[in-house]
A and B are shown apart, each in its own frame.
Chain A
Amino acid sequence: HSATSCFTGGEYGKKAKKKSAEVDGEGSAVEEKKMVKSELAVAFPPTFSVSEIKNKQRRHFMFMKLKQEKRKQKMQLRKKRRKEREALGDKAPPKEVPKTIENQRVYDETTVDPEDEEIAFDEGTDEFSAYFNGLTNPKVLITTSDRPRGRTVRFCEQLATVIPNAHVYYRRGLALKRIIPQCVARNFTYLMVINEDRQVPNGMVLCHLPNGPTAHFKVSSVRLRKEMKRRGKNPTEHYPEVILNNFTTRLGHTIGRLFAALFPQEPHFVGRQVATFHNQRDFIFFRFHRYIFKNEKKVGIQELGPRFTLKLRSLQKGTFDSKYGEYEWVMKRHEMEACRRKFQL
C-alpha cells in the first residue's frame, strides 16, 4: 500500500485506470481492446501528456496510439472534405493553396511597381543608363585574390567563356584601388574579383567601372563544367541571352541591372545560349544553358557552363572603397535574418 501511495496521480493512476479497464472488459480479446480504447478516450484527464509517463515502453506505446488517433482523424477529415467537394461539383469552393514561404512573404514596401514613374526616371539616369541606352559595350575584367589555387583559376576561365568580352588577369598582389583607374583608362566596364579561401572561391566583388556601384557577394556551391552531369559541349562565342527572375524590390532591381549590364545588349539568338540569374529567397542562382525549341510548346534545355549561387552582402555606391565608401545596403544578419519571411531582394 505504501508502494502504491507513492505513485499518486500521474502515471500510475492512468495505468491503473487502463488495467482496470482491461480487467472489466468482456471475454473476447478484441472487445477488450475496444473497451480499453474507449475507456482511454474517456478516462484521460485533460492535463494528460504523453511525455509524463516515465516508463519508456509504455510512453512509446501511448505515443504511437496518439499518433494513430491523429492520423485517423486526419484521414476522416480528408474523406469528408473530398465527399463534400464531389457532392458540390462545380460549386465547390476552390482548392486551398498551401502556404509557402513565397506566399507568406512579408510585403516589402520597396517592391517595384512596373508602372512607377519615379523608378523609371531613376533608372533612366543612374549609372547603368549608359549601358541601357546602348552607349557602352560591356568589357569585363576578371581577377582573383592573391595566389589563387587551381579551382579558382579554372572557375575564372570558365566565367570568361560564359561572359562575352571578358578577360582574365592574374592578380600580382596589386591593390584594387590602383587597378581601378587603369581599368577605366582601358575602357573596361566591369571589374570582377573572385575571392578565394581554402582553395575554393567564396566571394565576389563586382564593381561597375566608370563610377558605378560595387556589390560584394558570397559565392557558394560552385560547380565547374566537368563536374556537371549531362552537360553539353562548351559554350560558343555567341552572345547569350539573359534571364533575370524575381528581382522585385528596389534593391533587387539594382542588382538585376548590375547583372544585365554584364552582357551585351544584342544577344545572338543563333547561339541559343541563355544565362539565368534567378533570385529565390535572397539567393541568386546562376545557370548557363543551351536551349532548343522542339515545338511551340516545348523547349529543351541543356546545361553547359559553370553554376554557382550568390548572396548579396553589401552594395556600395561608387567604386571599390571599403574604408571610406558609402554603403547603400549592408547585410545586417541580426536585423534582416530575424524574420524567416522577410527578404531583401
Chain B
Amino acid sequence: MQHDDVIWDIIGNTQFCSFKVKTKSQNFCRNEYNITGLCNRSSCPLANSQYATIREEKGQCFLYMKVIERAAFPARMWEKVKLSKNYEKALEQIDENLIYWPRFIRHKCKQRFTKITQYLIRMRKLVLKRQRKLVPLSRKVETRERRKEEKALIAAQLDNAIEKELLERLKQGTYGDIYNFPVHAFDRALEQQDQESESEEEEEEEEDDEKDVGQREFVAEEEVEESDLSDFEDMNKLRTSSDEEEQDESSEEEDEEEMEVQTKASRSKGKSPANGSAARKKRAYVEIEYEQETEPASKSRAT
C-alpha cells in the first residue's frame, strides 16, 4: 500500500534517500521526475502518489503525471503527454490535464514549463551566434615550443642585431644630414677617397713623430706652446740626454696633438693609436711639468 507519510518519514528526514543532495543551506533532490529540484515534502516524487512534472527531450516538452491508481505498476506509472510548441496552447493543455489537481503542482508545472521554453529559446539563439572553438593543447608540444622560443631568443641577440642594422643605415646615409658627427663630411670624403693612403698616413705620422724628435720647430701660435717650448729648452739644459729625448718627443707630439685637437680632426683609423699614445704621453707630460716646477728649486738649493 502506498503510505506517503510513512515514506516521507523514512526518506525525508531520518533515514537515507539516494536522491538527496545535502548542502549547507538547502537539500536538493536529484530525482529526474522532481518538479522543483528541492527536497521537500510536497516536491518529493517518491513521497507523493499524485504527482506531475514537465520534462524536455530534444527540444520537445512533455507533461508527466502519476496517480495512485497506477502505483502498483511501475512500468506504466508515468503518463506522458506531449505539449504543443505554442506557449499559450501548452499552458492550456497543462491546465486541462491537471484540472482538479492540487494548486501547488499545477503552479509549479507551469513555472517549470516556462523556464524550459526560455532556455530552449536561448540555446537556439546561441547556435546562430559565433561559437567559441576550443582547441586542445598538448602540454608536451607547448613546453617544447616555449623552450625553442627561449633558445631562439638567445640565438637572436636582438640588441646587437638592431644596433648593427642602425649603424649600417647610418653608414649608407639613409638619415641624410641629420647627424653631424659623421665627422665632418669632408674628412670622411677624404677617407673614402684615400683608402689606399690611409695606411700611408699612419706611417707618415709615425715617421713624422720620429723625424721631429731631434728637430725643434718654433711655432708661434699658442702661449702655452711657447711657454712649454721655453720650459723644455730650460729642461734640456738641466736634464740628462735620455730625458731630453723623451721631452722632445713628447713636446713635439704634444704640439702636433694640440694643433690637431684644436681643429678637432679625429680621423678614426689613423688617429686612434696615435691618440692613445698621445694620451699616454700627455700624461707623461703632465708629470714632467710637475717635476719641472720642483726641479729648479732643488737645483737652486743645491747650488
Contact = CB atoms under 8 A, between A and B. Distances in A.
Contact of A333 (B141, B146, B169, B176): B141
A221 interface: yes
A98 B268 CA distance: 33
Interface majority SS on A: helix, strand, loop or mixed? strand
Contacts of A61: none
A280 B165 CA distance: 16
A29 interface: no
Given A243-B165, A299-B166, A285 B156 contact: yes
Interface majority SS on B: helix, strand, loop or mixed? helix
B155 A291 contact: no
Interface in B143-163: 145-146, 148-149, 151-153, 155-156, 158-159, 161-163
Interface in A92-114: 100-102
A7 interface: no
A220 B147 CA distance: 12
B68 to A, nearest CB: 52
B158 A287 contact: yes
B149 A220 contact: yes
B181 A295 contact: yes
Given A220-B149, A221-B149, A280-B153, A299 B181 contact: no
A281 B152 contact: yes
Interface string B174-191: 011011011100000000
Contacts of B163: 291, 299, 301
Contacts of B170: 293, 296, 299
Nearest to B175: A269
Interface in A305-331: 309, 311
A278 B149 contact: no
Contacts of B175: 269
Contacts of B171: 296
Nearest to B129: A173
A100 B156 CA distance: 12
A283 B162 contact: no
Nearest to A203: B135
A245 interface: yes
Contacts of A143: none
Nearest to A283: B152
Nearest to B142: A220
A299 B162 CA distance: 10
Contacts of A274: 162, 166
B178 A269 contact: yes
B132 interface: yes
Given A102-B155, A280-B156, A293-B181, A245 B161 contact: yes
Contacts of B152: 280-283, 285
B170 to A, nearest CB: 6
B149 A289 contact: no
B130 interface: yes
Contacts of A270: 178
Contacts of B10: none
Contacts of A87: none
A173 B166 contact: no
A229 interface: no
Contact of A175 (B130, B165, B178, B181): B130
Interface string A271-284: 00010101011110
A84 interface: no
A329 B266 CA distance: 54
A28 B170 CA distance: 72
A146 B132 contact: yes
Contacts of B146: 220
B284 interface: no
A281 B162 contact: no
A56 interface: no
Contacts of A289: 162
B167 A309 contact: no
A299 B165 CA distance: 10
Nearest to B138: A333
Contacts of B159: 301
A280 B157 CA distance: 10
Interface in A199-225: 220-221
B190 to A, nearest CB: 15
B180 to A, nearest CB: 10
A27 B139 CA distance: 61
B303 to A, nearest CB: 53
Interface string A221-255: 10000000000000000000101010000000000
A100 B132 CA distance: 41
Nearest to B150: A221
A285 B162 contact: no
- A-B interface, 6 closest residue pairs, ranked by CB to CB distance from nearest: A280-B156, A281-B152, A280-B152, A283-B152, A299-B166, A243-B165
Given A243-B165, A291-B163, 15 more contacts: A146-B132, A220-B145, A241-B169, A243-B162, A243-B166, A245-B161, A274-B162, A276-B161, A283-B148, A283-B153, A285-B152, A285-B158, A296-B182, A309-B149, A311-B149
25 contacts: A175-B130, A241-B169, A243-B162, A245-B161, A245-B165, A269-B176, A269-B178, A274-B162, A276-B161, A278-B162, A280-B153, A280-B156, A282-B152, A283-B148, A283-B149, A285-B156, A287-B162, A289-B162, A291-B162, A296-B268, A297-B268, A299-B166, A301-B159, A301-B162, A311-B145
Interface of B: 129-130, 132, 141, 145-146, 148-149, 151-153, 155-156, 158-159, 161-163, 165-167, 169-171, 175-176, 178-179, 181-183, 268
